[in-house]
Amino acid sequence: MLSHTYYHVFNTKKKREYINITGVVEKQLAESSVREGLVLISAMHITASIYVNDAERGIIEDIDEWLERLAPEGIDYKHHRTGEVNGDAHLKNLLLHHQVLVPVTGGCLDLGPWQQIYYAEFDGRRPKKIVIKIIGE
């Protein structure tokens, strides 16, 4: 069994931001030499998500508005008693989830034609980290 671990470290510029990381994952898959297996892409934060959907500007805006509607900012969350002000970012993380698992077939990410892998930031302007773990053979 082969395994390959990579930490993608980067800075986010905005509080909320949606970043296509499909290319980052593809590069690591090529380096892993895995032909058949699984790639886990997991945010190492509790205020960020990894999801799979369309690389289309409109739907990204829709996702952002929808998250804000279901898990809004500006509420007096109990978490804020700690001095934090990011209660909404925790709930947005739970709604979209912090991880995605992609099958690897013939050395490629086995995604549908419109499926792109995104990192969603909900409490940014800080260094952030994603773990990419590839296992297979």
Amino acid 62 reads D
Nearer to its own copies, 23 or 84 (CB): 84
Q: Where are the beta strands (DSSP E) in 59-126?
A: 99-105, 108-109, 116-121
Minimum CB distance to its own copies smaller for 33 or for 105:
105
Q: Determine the straight-line distance between the first and last CA of the chain, rounded to whole angstroms.
A: 5
Nearest to 123 by CA among 51, 69, 67: 67
Query: Please, which of residues 37-76 interact with its own copies by CB under 8 A?
Result: 37-38, 40, 42-46, 51-54, 56-59, 61-63, 66, 70-71
Among 30, 101, 108, 126, binds its own copies (CB under 8 A): 101
| Of positions 31, 125, 126, 137, contacts its own copies by CB under 8 A | 137
Residue 11 binds to its own copies (criterion: CB under 8 A): no
Are the beta carbons of 134 and 38 closer than 8 angstroms?
Answer: yes
